[in-house]
Structure 1
């Protein structure tokens, strides 16, 4: 079932939250042996939450009052989101034994909505890389699910949970969505709180939501988006307006009539033939729905920003300088560069932030000059990657796809699958991006496109692979004070996010 279908059954009283939870746990234990998406599960916590959700749904039905659409739905969290009294390890031996001191802002919203936390899923260590090598792609476990939110995407593709939460600092929900054949939304910077989330580079860390369909992901985004006093970045943009994120098509003969989609030629030119065929098919579908396709030259991403990334990574990871031997060996070069970044003068660092602002002006100008509603990028230009490929690369490297533009621009991006490669059988997706704060508009556009593309309904043919997944109970919270029970997890500065095309 999709998340929307499951929610409808739960609210109608035709499905009990325990029944849905039973199915998710049973399927995970039966098939996760080869995939390895889960790092820990929390059955005790989950069943208590399922019973509480059942009571909420029963009262809502009796009293005729609305209840959150997420009430009773099992959720997987990437292992960087704090949940008070539960382990938080960023899939790293460095944080072995770490217990969260409080709840992340994302989990607080989900908990209050009645969602059921099933467990934490693997990330590429500290969300630094793009491979998540400890996890297999459900379509072929010899292949990578992408990273760094590989566990979040794999758990969804394998149908272990209907919804999951990840993060995106440089394509970290979009690359896994493409590789695993599921959908994701990276909202505008600051739309969703990162409070209580282990950071990578705080000035471009985004919470990302994943669902089997765009509509499923939008259901999740509706709950987690909004202001959070613990995260000033959530106060940067205009309030969310409208009735909610689109979860159904408008219909009609040409639902995308008048829509102009920009396609960066340089990004498309990098595609191998099987992926180019799928990408062209997506553009043909968009034209059929009434959209106009426009070739554009995307602005160059400032090379200087990589230095800023290293400064921010070093600022956080210096607290673990006595535990370098516990990191995965392939992470050590990036950590050495991050340590060197701490020597960058403050004046130079703030100069890098000015480079980011100039890039945003250029990005916005591309929309204005071509009268664009959105841009369409390939989800990746790698036709499947083995689990041991790209191990040494960080999310800053951009080796698997053109993704950094959205993090530097703070722009919302929806990813949706369009088919599977004729060469590898691995799924391939596309990115639909807009200007900052146009989250509702780009989701509505993607929902229309996905309705004409049935690839999201495809299910990977899993082989039975039983696994005893570690089950953990709640203990006393860590001392804190940050919910992650680590230091320097808060952004030291807030980047400028603008829709302007230049200084006024």
Structure 2
């Protein structure tokens, strides 16, 4: 695990920001080298509300190693300046990303402007006039290279979109920007989010291994402590598989909880946008600002509103906080695990039971054989615009793109039948919860005990070979991937999926908060060897022509998949 590494770009040691906070001195440091506007405001003594830790309880000495809720607490209290946090993240990224390669581009000029604006919102004068700043204000962020940012490149980590400039902001980024978050850069994705490898990125725990996909770059920059928060997408485990592989936490929310407007699609009726953090508190903090109704994405208007004040951020604690909770264990997946990860999963079940939870074996409903019929057609309807650029796809991804385009010849009745069977599957999933009186299900986060990068270069997210993940995409139900330790055989992280009923993110977050408080595997960080890298730096330019924010032809559908809580037989 890393520690303090010299001076921040402000000229102040990273250890110094805490000692300065303790003194409560006005303008404890002048942020000179990068032109901060004056000295920092006087530290405020009160602890932040809404479940953030007290600033006095935080002992981390390098700002890059602060998790999101710790950093938010220090930013809100005035003990940490947004520029100083950004300095630490940029410095660590350029010093260590050489072997990992998690970033595709960074935006320092834009980021420092946003950090200064966040500092103004966090200042005592602004707080006294306008009220408290949003809890995510000033936190650095990585966006998966599918989320549009007006005037910045958007390439889906593909040569196919080389030179593409976003025409507008994705709704998710607009929400986070409006809340004062600081965009540090775009992280790599498996090309167009098609696969589970993200083979151009090394896993920070061992760069010979895959960070998972398709949100592998987002998971890698989180695990390496380059940034405290990131966005990802999940069409077939693409938030959960990287979280398991890299030892971080992700929340795949209910389909429609977070808008996908302005996000390059893989399949419109399975794509979920969601937050990634080191802990579930980190991810839940960002979910509260990322989620909500968007008139440009009608699915987001269906479910209940985001809870007032956001999602819970702290565990209730006590000896048996999970008392009365029932957990379904998908036994067939557990029995198929390699020995080392089977031990980790069994230890996780022991933890659930020690905290008062009851476990029962369950069987997920059988996936209809034709359920993937629509996936290829939806993917093809997007990728057909690139038929004249097929030679620019990665060799590992070109066959999938070509097959998807060819699948547009599938008869429409086959597509409609598959959609009907998907609805049946949703009802059966809900009935499994009702029949067993479940609060959540527990599913291994991966089938394999770590995978080398090139071993899965051609594997699509639709195959399910890396983990049992499709149940959450086809039902639209929420799922959280939480770390469950590291394999004694490979040393690689392993995670557990905690799944629930549609629209019930709060229950899952509350459960995982207790589990992570009782056994904080998420706090372990990889030892990353110095490997300097000149990460491409880009400035904002003229936005693309649009009209879609992605500056691509994003036809979508006149109808959308909607999650249901019904258990009726159909």
* TM-score w.r.t. length of structure 2: 0.87
**In 2 relative to 1, CA 271–492 (structure 1 residues): closer, same or farther, beyond 3 Å?**
farther
The Cα of 1:351 is off from its aligned counterpart by 1.2
Q: Separation in 1 of the partners of 2:567 and 2:128? A: 53
Whether the aligned pair in 2 keeps the contact of 1:357 and 1:496 (CA below 8 Å) is: no
Does residue 1:211 correspond to 2:277, yes or no?
A: yes
Q: Give the SS at the match of 1:364.
A: helix
The Cα of 1:65 is off from its aligned counterpart by 1.6
Whether the aligned pair in 1 keeps the contact of 2:484 and 2:494 (CA below 8 Å) is: yes
Q: Which of the numbers 407, 418, 422 marks the counterpart of 1:356?
A: 422
Pair member with larger Rg: 2
Number of residue pairs matched by the alignment: 504
Q: Which of the numbers 369, 376, 400 marks the counterpart of 1:310?
A: 376
Q: Separation in 2 of the partners of 1:164 and 1:157? A: 11
The Cα of 1:453 is off from its aligned counterpart by 1.5
Whether the aligned pair in 2 keeps the contact of 1:197 and 1:489 (CA below 8 Å) is: no
Q: Separation in 1 of the partners of 2:302 and 2:413? A: 24
Q: Give the SS at the match of 2:97.
A: helix
The Cα of 1:454 is off from its aligned counterpart by 1.7
Query: For residue 89 of structure 2, what is the aligned residue in structure 1?
Result: 24
The Cα of 1:242 is off from its aligned counterpart by 5.1
Query: For residue 181 of structure 1, what is the aligned residue in structure 2?
Result: 247
Q: Give the SS at the match of 2:409.
A: coil
The Cα of 1:389 is off from its aligned counterpart by 1.2
Query: For residue 44 of structure 2, what is the aligned residue in structure 1?
Result: none
What's the CA shift string for 1:363-410, capped at 9, x where partnerless? Answer: 001001100000000000110110101111110000110000000010
Structure 1 residue ranges without an equivalent (≥5):
none
Whether the aligned pair in 1 keeps the contact of 2:373 and 2:414 (CA below 8 Å) is: no
What's the CA shift string for 1:56-94, capped at 9, x where partnerless? Answer: 111444337221111000000000000000000000000
Q: Separation in 2 of the partners of 1:153 and 1:302? A: 31
Q: Separation in 2 of the partners of 1:491 and 1:263? A: 36
Q: Separation in 2 of the partners of 1:503 and 1:405? A: 18
TM alignment of 1:90-169, pairs within 5 A: 90-169=156-235
**In 2 relative to 1, CA 53–315 (structure 1 residues): closer, same or farther, beyond 3 Å?**
same
What's the CA shift string for 1:108-140, capped at 9, x where partnerless? Answer: 001100000000000000000000000000000
Query: For residue 356 of structure 2, what is the aligned residue in structure 1?
Result: 290
What's the CA shift string for 1:441-496, capped at 9, x where partnerless? Answer: 11111111111122101010010000000000000000000000000253443113
Q: Which of the numbers 96, 106, 115 marks the counterpart of 1:50?
A: 115
Query: For residue 135 of structure 2, what is the aligned residue in structure 1?
Result: 69
Q: Separation in 1 of the partners of 2:473 and 2:360? A: 23
Whether the aligned pair in 2 keeps the contact of 1:198 and 1:489 (CA below 8 Å) is: no
Whether the aligned pair in 2 keeps the contact of 1:203 and 1:493 (CA below 8 Å) is: no
Q: Separation in 2 of the partners of 1:74 and 1:356? A: 38
What's the CA shift string for 1:266-303, capped at 9, x where partnerless? Answer: 11122000000000000000000000000011111222
Query: For residue 340 of structure 2, what is the aligned residue in structure 1?
Result: 274
Q: Separation in 1 of the partners of 2:512 and 2:308? A: 17
Whether the aligned pair in 2 keeps the contact of 1:199 and 1:316 (CA below 8 Å) is: yes
Q: Which of the numbers 473, 476, 483 marks the counterpart of 2:542?
A: 476
Does residue 1:444 correspond to 2:549, yes or no?
A: no
Query: For residue 40 of structure 1, what is the aligned residue in structure 2?
Result: 105
Q: Separation in 1 of the partners of 2:217 and 2:436? A: 38
Higher mean C-alpha displacement, 340-349 vs 410-419 = 340-349
What's the CA shift string for 1:289-346, capped at 9, x where partnerless? Answer: 0000000111112221211100000000000000000000111221222122101122
Query: For residue 413 of structure 2, what is the aligned residue in structure 1?
Result: 347
Q: Separation in 1 of the partners of 2:400 and 2:294? A: 32
Structure 2 residue ranges without an equivalent (≥5):
1-65
The Cα of 1:105 is off from its aligned counterpart by 0.3
The Cα of 1:252 is off from its aligned counterpart by 2.0
Does residue 1:247 correspond to 2:313, yes or no?
A: yes
Q: Give the SS at the match of 1:352.
A: helix
Does residue 1:388 correspond to 2:454, yes or no?
A: yes
What's the CA shift string for 1:31-59, capped at 9, x where partnerless? Answer: 00000000000001000000000001114
What's the CA shift string for 1:206-237, capped at 9, x where partnerless? Answer: 00210000000000100001000111110122
Does residue 1:332 correspond to 2:398, yes or no?
A: yes
Q: Give the SS at the match of 2:134.
A: coil
Q: Give the SS at the match of 1:34.
A: coil
Q: Separation in 1 of the partners of 2:164 and 2:517? A: 43
Query: For residue 486 of structure 1, what is the aligned residue in structure 2?
Result: 552
Q: Separation in 1 of the partners of 2:405 and 2:520? A: 46
Q: Give the SS at the match of 1:303.
A: coil
The Cα of 1:502 is off from its aligned counterpart by 1.7
* TM-score w.r.t. length of structure 1: 0.98
Whether the aligned pair in 2 keeps the contact of 1:256 and 1:289 (CA below 8 Å) is: yes
Query: For residue 427 of structure 1, what is the aligned residue in structure 2?
Result: 493
